Chain A
Amino acid sequence: MTVASNENLATVAASARPAAPRRQRGALWAWVVFIIGALYFIVPLIATFEVSMRSIPLFSAYTNAFADPGFFSSLLYSFVIGVITVVLSIVLIVPTAFWVRLRAPRLRPFVEFITLLPFVVPPVVLVFGLIKAYSRPPLPLTNSEFGSDALLVFAYVVLSLPYMYRAVDSGLRTIDIRSLTEAAQSMGASWFTILTRIILPNLRVALLSGAFLSLAIVIGEYTIASYLARPAFGPYLQLLGANRAYEPAAVSLISFGLTWLAMIAIAMLGRGSRTRIQIGGAH
């Protein structure tokens, strides 16, 4: 395998041996790999677009999709659930990560272990366990609409734990929370004031990126929403795919666009920030 080194190295190497041929080969090899990757990425999107254009008249797949009341109601439902998930996740994670850093560093491995558990428990197993645990007294949550919605939010908060905790924790690393906390306390601030007026504003970038990532995951989520029988966007799209010809293509592209928007937002936030931002998959 031959790979060209980066700029300054090549000049160093040039004194020892001619670097030009290696540079050429490296670039060609890199181009080939990149183009294969790009094709893998783009071709399915083009195919989806092509299917969405087959409906007559032009763009009717999109107008039909928008005209279906289920489209907006399910998208709105998933968006609201996503926002509640994010808020709850922040309320849960920020004080925890703050407390671990400030007062309980010994418990850090234990807390980190718990935040990684969702990686070990796949969504289908999580929803299975949740249904078993909460479909009977004392907490028969699945028996009511509100209970099921709540259960869905809690499940999504669990899914968001690894991303949120890491985002918040690396955000906390960049600020001197001990000094900030002591300064605030010496002026008589309460814990609530410290968290909401000092820690939260300093974590803006980390929180927003974690929020967008969680939103992107929640809005398209299918497995948990489907087994809890919630009218979310994922199950709606599945139903649409089973029953209609061209509209699913249009809605898939829209869903792709939404994920794209979330990632662009994260990239913009990350620019000029010292916080390492994780945008890793979640399935």
Chain B
Amino acid sequence: MTEIASVTAERGVPPARPARRFRPGTWAGLIPFFVFALLFLGLPIAFLAFGSIADNTTGAPTLDNYAALSTPLVVNAFQTSIEVSLVTAIVGGIFGFLLAVAVILGRLPRVLRSALMTFSGVASNFAGIPLALAFIYTLSAEGMVTHLLRGVGLNLDFKIFSKFGIEIVYLYFQFPLMVLIIAPAIDGLKPEWREAAENMGASSADYWRRVALPILTPTLLGSMILLFGNSFGAQATAYQLSAGLVPLVPLAIGNQISGDVLHNAGLGYSMAMGMVAVMGVSIVGYAWLQRRAERWLR
């Protein structure tokens, strides 16, 4: 079939020559895409990468910018960012998973399932300034829930402009994203597996512990890694919420774009590369787990 296709497609190419890899024609159709990716993805990253290994004033090759990553401010920012992302990925991941199991296997009315799916699509894309504002109206000192609780004598010792506050807000887009990612995997649990387990005398708990969860584990972990990256890269929500009180890497890089607040222009580059490195490691982990997950779920 490739024979016919190549004959009709490639006028001027001798029909005797079989279709093989890396003829110029193979690349031709992809040139616009590669040029675009090079200009607006490759080039910006290359600029940051070169900036990160060049001296601020002389431009000579140096690793000083990476050494500067060990300053307490930067270490603190990375620690806080990673902690916030880990906490929201794990809590959001577990709750999103439970929620997905609840609507798919929990015998709730079917309409709730489609409602949850639509809501998850909205909430996982509802971030940034409006989300931050919504939570300020809810949980800040003058927020609605804070007011209501004060009315019944409960004084919330809680600040929305804090690390914990940011985690609460991030969960708003984290657990819906988990629902979206994990739902197909839960749908993919075959009824036969449960039947087989029950025929052998397994209880529901046995089935989940020894069959369903082991099958789902790579997907669960992989999804949580996506959640981690989702939170690690978020900037706008944090910008509106933290008011400079919580050190996060995206905020530090943002400040560095606006002006050299760390008194070391090169530090912005190395922080950016550090962020790319963390994200890169998580995506590689995700891809690996994804391949494992596909053994069972298709």
Residues of A within 8 A of B (CB): 1-6, 8-9, 12-13, 16, 22-23, 26-27, 29-31, 33-34, 36-37, 40-41, 43-48, 50-51, 92-93, 95-96, 98-100, 102-104, 106-107, 111, 114, 116-133, 154-155, 157-158, 178, 181-182, 185-186, 213, 216-217, 220-223, 226-227, 234, 237-238, 241, 248-249, 251-252, 255-256, 259-260, 262-264, 266-267, 278-283
Q: Name which of B37-45, B57-65, B70-78, B151-159 contacts chain A.
A: B37-45
Known: A44-B137, A50-B137. A37 touches B257 (CB 8 A): no
Which of A23, A100, A185, A237 is packed against the most chain B CB atoms within 10 Å?
A: A237
Q: Take A99-B29, A234-B129, A263-B122 as given contacts and tell me if A123 and B235 are in contact as well, using a CB distance cutoff of 8 Å.
A: yes
- Which A residues lie within 8 Å of B275 (CB)? 122, 125
Known: A114-B41, A117-B41, A178-B1. A280 touches B177 (CB 8 A): yes
Contact yes or no, A237 B130, CB < 8 A:
yes
Contact A2 B268 (CB under 8 A): no
Chain B contacts for A6, CB-based, 8 A: 105, 107, 191
Within 8 A of A (CB), among B221-253: 229-237, 239-240, 250, 253
Q: In this assembly, does B5 line the interface, its C-beta being within 8 Å of a C-beta of chain A?
A: yes
Chain B residues, Cβ within 8 Å of A154: 36, 39-40
B contact residues, range: 35 or more
Residues of B with C-beta under 8 A to A278:
180
Given contacts A93-B33, A124-B233, A238-B236, 9 further A-B contacts (CB under 8 A): A45-B134, A47-B145, A104-B26, A114-B37, A128-B48, A132-B44, A182-B8, A280-B177, A283-B127
In the assembled complex, the Cα of A281 lies from the Cα of B117 at a distance in Å of 13
The CA-CA distance from A227 to B268 in the complex, in Å, is 15
Chain A residues within an 8 Å CB radius of B181: 280
**Complex alpha-carbon distance, A23 and B268, angstroms:** 56
Check if A155 sits within 8 Å of B134, measured CB to CB.
no
Q: Are A281 and B124 in contact (CB under 8 A)?
A: yes
B215 to chain A, nearest CB (A): 14
Determine chain B's interface SS by DSSP, over half rule. helix
- Measured CB to CB, the residues of B under 8 A from A are 1, 4-5, 8-9, 21, 25-27, 29-30, 32-34, 36-37, 39-41, 43-48, 51, 95, 98-99, 101-103, 105-108, 112, 114, 116-131, 133-135, 137-138, 143-145, 171-173, 175-177, 180-181, 191, 194-195, 198, 204-205, 208, 229-237, 239-240, 250, 253-254, 256-258, 268, 272, 275-276, 279-280, 283
